[in-house]
Structure 1
Amino acid sequence: MKKLTLAVVLGLAMAGACAKDWTTIRFGVDASYAPFESKQADGSLIGFDIDLGKAVCEKLKAKCVFIENDFDGMIPGLQARKFDGILSSMSVTEKRQQVIAFSDKLFNAPVRMVAKKGSTLQPKPEALAGKRIGVEQATTAETYAKAYWEPKGVTVVPYQNQELVLADLVAGRLDATLQDAVQADVGFLKTPRGAGFAFAGPNLEDPKTIGNGTAIGLRKEDTDLREQINKALGEIHKDGTYKRLAAKYFSFDIYN
């Protein structure tokens, strides 16, 4: 039998030290983003992301723990090991892929502008010059607006969470908001608070800033967790769990 070299021994030791038993998975969530994640009066969390996380954990026979965090602190929180994954409608972009890894796709996340009903505003810089547009910090909506609108004289106003954006829109302190189209539709426009507002213009598309769909954000070194989550996602698609959960929140195909 050949002797193991020192390098092999060290490698095996390091692999053993890095391996983790994922019996508990902690997901960072921004609870201001209905219908994906929000908080009920009793403090419990609900939403499509929450249901997906529970389904993944069930497949992996792991305990799910949801840790609330503002969206702009999600990636720093993940890197600081405050939680193990970001489950908060995070779009996959090239910039984010430079610092974290992602699971397989969860669902699509188009971005769209919202303004008062009857408004003539359109999501074009020439139409928005001098206007105040609210966005949630660290979102693809903020990245898009600051890249293409702000240099053309549009005032882009970042907020710590989506609830603050919507509160200022309703109060008249903003001319419009730019946000996830599904969240805007289901979590705002179809509620009593959003009755006086409507979409202004079509979905915006820009792979560079908006990305292509959402996924669970993970640390690059946690390749074993990524593999396990992807396996679980495949199973919940195959057995119909994904469609059943999606039907609770959406009357359309949110995946394709």
Structure 2
Amino acid sequence: MKNLLKSAAVALAVSVAAFAPAVAQELKIGVAAEPYPPFSSPDASGKWVGWEIEFIDALCGEAKVKCVVTPVAWDGIIPALTTKKIDAIIGSMSITPEREKTIAFSDKYYNTPAAVIGPKGQKFDATPEGLKGKILGVQVSTVSADYAKKYFAPVVSEIKEYQTQDEANQDLAAGRIDATQADLITLQAFLDSDQGKACCETKGNVKDDPEILGAGIGIGLRQEDKALKDKFNAAIKAVRANGTYAAISKKYFDFDIYGK
């Protein structure tokens, strides 16, 4: 009798589970805690906004997962992923061979060049010859920092590292450094501000090096999370195909940031 009752209970549980509504998978999506406009930054109320935040919403809606934006200090964001404090990084992280030794990446979801900006009226370009003897600011733990150390360290007087790109921009505006290197779009957002318009201008894009600058921006994932990678890759293709990607991008850019 006990066995019959047990079997009936199991059957009932299975039956209830079969008709229960599916619970959406919840993922913690890591973004840099430091503002990175126009991709991600907190507004006056503390809500995170920007192109990448809207992209996350669209992507997760397409993938049918619940996503929670989780700010993490940039220099600790990969350890946060590998120790399962977050489930993915959607924070303008370049796909590089060095990072792929530790984590996996989705397909790219945008790709823009790295550039150098400096004071108006000073003529130099984004080359080792142009930056010779100058103080160059970069954000710590970025591909631009790695690039600067390889190509510019032998000729500049100093490479100064900052926790945020905004700090580098502020020091450039104040004359404490001579130039800064970062993603072109992020630097353009600064140049379009009142402060940026007054002080600074683009000196050019740096020469490409895919080994350092990467093959575009991708979603950082744990290497074992292959099913999640497939799900995000499918979602990236879908939002590009159905026009959602273009609709979001038009709010922030006047060109296609997806790249070649």
CA RMSD of the aligned region, Å? 1.4
Count of residues in Structure 1 that have an aligned counterpart in Structure 2: 235
Q: Which of 136, 159, 164 is the equivalent residue of 2:162? A: 159
Output the CA distance in 2 between the equivalents of 1:148 and 1:72: 22
Q: Aligned residue for 1:191?
A: 193
CA contact (8 A) 2:110 2:216 kept: yes
Deviation, 1:162, is 1.3
Q: Which of 76, 80, 84 is the equivalent residue of 1:77? A: 80
Q: Aligned residue for 2:11?
A: none
Deviating more after overlay: 220-229 vs 56-65: 56-65
Q: Could you report, residue by residue, the CA deviation over 1:220-255 in whole angstroms, capped at 9, with x for unpaired residues?
A: 011111111111111111111011011111000111
Q: Aligned residue for 1:117?
A: 120
Q: Could you report, residue by residue, the CA deviation over 1:92-123 in whole angstroms, capped at 9, with x for unpaired residues?
A: 11111111100111101310001011211222
CA contact (8 A) 2:93 2:218 kept: yes
Q: Is 1:212 matched up with 2:254? A: no
Q: Is 1:42 matched up with 2:45? A: yes
Output the CA distance in 2 between the equivalents of 1:22 and 1:217: 21
SS at match of 2:123: coil
Q: Aligned residue for 1:136?
A: 139
Q: Could you report, residue by residue, the CA deviation over 1:177-234 in whole angstroms, capped at 9, with x for unpaired residues?
A: 000001111x201111211211012343111111121011111011111111111111
Deviation, 1:153, is 4.0
Output the TM-score relative to the length of structure 1.
0.88
Deviation, 1:58, is 0.8
CA contact (8 A) 2:27 2:65 kept: yes
Q: Is 1:239 matched up with 2:242? A: yes
Output the CA distance in 1 between the equivalents of 2:159 and 2:78: 22
Q: Is 1:202 matched up with 2:198? A: no
Output the CA distance in 1 between the equivalents of 2:143 and 2:24: 30
CA contact (8 A) 2:90 2:220 kept: yes
Deviation, 1:22, is 6.6
CA contact (8 A) 2:114 2:181 kept: yes
Output the CA distance in 2 between the equivalents of 1:45 and 1:204: 33
Q: Is 1:221 matched up with 2:224? A: yes
Tell me which amino acid in the other structure corresponds to 1:193. Answer: Q
Q: Aligned residue for 1:145?
A: 148
CA contact (8 A) 2:30 2:91 kept: yes
Identity of aligned residues (%): 39
Output the CA distance in 2 between the equivalents of 1:213 and 1:154: 30
Output the CA distance in 2 between the equivalents of 1:154 and 1:220: 39
Output the TM-score relative to the length of structure 2.
0.86
Output the CA distance in 2 between the equivalents of 1:120 and 1:22: 55
CA contact (8 A) 2:136 2:156 kept: no
Return 5+ residue gaps in structure 1 as ranges: 1-20
Output the CA distance in 1 between the equivalents of 2:83 and 2:173: 36
4+ residue segments displaced more than 4 Å? none
Compare CA radii of gyration and give the structure with the larger one: 2
Q: Could you report, residue by residue, the CA deviation over 1:144-186 in whole angstroms, capped at 9, with x for unpaired residues?
A: 000111123441111111121112111211101000001111x
Counting only pairs closer than 5 Å after superposition, residues 62-73 of structure 1 correspond to structure 2 as 62-73=65-76
